[in-house]
Structure 1
């Protein structure tokens, strides 16, 4: 009997991957999101921007001061690379 791979979903409010504990979206989550949103790159960008805003709000809620450029890079910075590989 085979087991299904566990999805790489965010664990809030820390925004770490529930599966691998890397900062979400981890690389496997990125690959899954590209597949899930295939052909809908603008919807993916909106989803990730909303997730980034939630992560920033959660960080402030925890009393942290998030590094905003790092958050942008983490959530949205990889999108241009994902689009480039599918052209």
Structure 2
């Protein structure tokens, strides 16, 4: 996680935004009176919101944890996929 003050961010906006998006960094922009702001990429934000949704629904969470336990214990099966004719 990076921390930068507002003035430095303003003077170097492009390079900091590139770092956030290209390197998946989260940046804290420090401001007076501790009114700080967090900057993250849209991709990171969307991932965070998806995790909040999935983990916030108990049935989704339980299903995921059960699936994870099955995978870790080797209770898996494989299936052959059939081809699809593109003209159909």
Task: Please give the range of the TM-score, normalised by the shorter of the 2 chains.
Answer: under 0.3
Q: TM-score, normalised by structure 2?
A: 0.28
Question: Relative contact order (alpha carbons < 8 A, sep ≥ 6): 1 or 2 greater?
Answer: 1
TM-score computed with the length of structure 1 as normaliser: 0.28
Largest Rg, 1 or 2? 2
